[in-house]
């Protein structure tokens, strides 16, 4: 599987065909910053590699999807600010979005997503 670099792409939910903007945080620095200091998020943020997240010092609740090495959703959780997410052993990537967005996109355990180049 190809290694990702920091930057922008598109997230494609295979089952629903939904496509949304995606920011990729692959470097240690980008993963550490994540959504800190932001008031909102358009689309999604992919942390890779990652198996867990926290929401300390965040300003808004988020949806978190834990993905395996094949970008299949293992679980989806909504997290309020100031929480520590339980790391998932099989997770290799973590997808974050504004709370409620993943339900609209049809993301649920077993659903596969793809990373497409920015269009």
Name the average pLDDT for the chain: 92
Domain count, the chain: 1
Range of the domain at 39: 7-117
pLDDT bin (cut points 50, 70, 90) of residue 3 is confident
Q: Is the pLDDT of residue 1 over 70?
A: no
C-beta separation of 111 from 13 below 8 A = yes
Q: Which among 81, 28, 29, 30 has a CA at the least distance from the CA of 57? A: 81
Examine residue 71 and state whether it is found in any structural domain, yes or no. Answer: yes
Examine residue 78 and state whether it is found in any structural domain, yes or no. Answer: yes
pLDDT tens digits, one per residue of 61-105: 999 999 999 999 999 999 999 898 889 999 999 999 999 999 999
Examine residue 32 and state whether it is found in any structural domain, yes or no. Answer: yes
pLDDT tens digits, one per residue of 31-50: 988 887 788 889 999 999 99
Examine residue 58 and state whether it is found in any structural domain, yes or no. Answer: yes
């Amino acid at each position: 599987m190809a290694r990702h670099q920091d930057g922008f792409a598109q997230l494609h939910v295979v089952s629903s065909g939904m496509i949304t903007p995606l920011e990729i945080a692959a470097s240690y620095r980008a993963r550490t910053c994540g959504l800190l200091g932001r008031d909102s998020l358009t689309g999604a943020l992919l942390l890779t590699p990652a198996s867990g997240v926290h929401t300390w010092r965040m300003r808004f609740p988020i949806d978190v999807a834990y993905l395996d090495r094949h970008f299949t959703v293992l679980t989806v959780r909504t997290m309020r600010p100031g929480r520590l997410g339980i790391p998932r052993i099989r997770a290799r990537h973590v997808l974050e979005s504004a709370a409620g967005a993943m339900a609209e996109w049809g993301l649920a355990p077993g659903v596969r997503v793809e990373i497409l180049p920015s269009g």
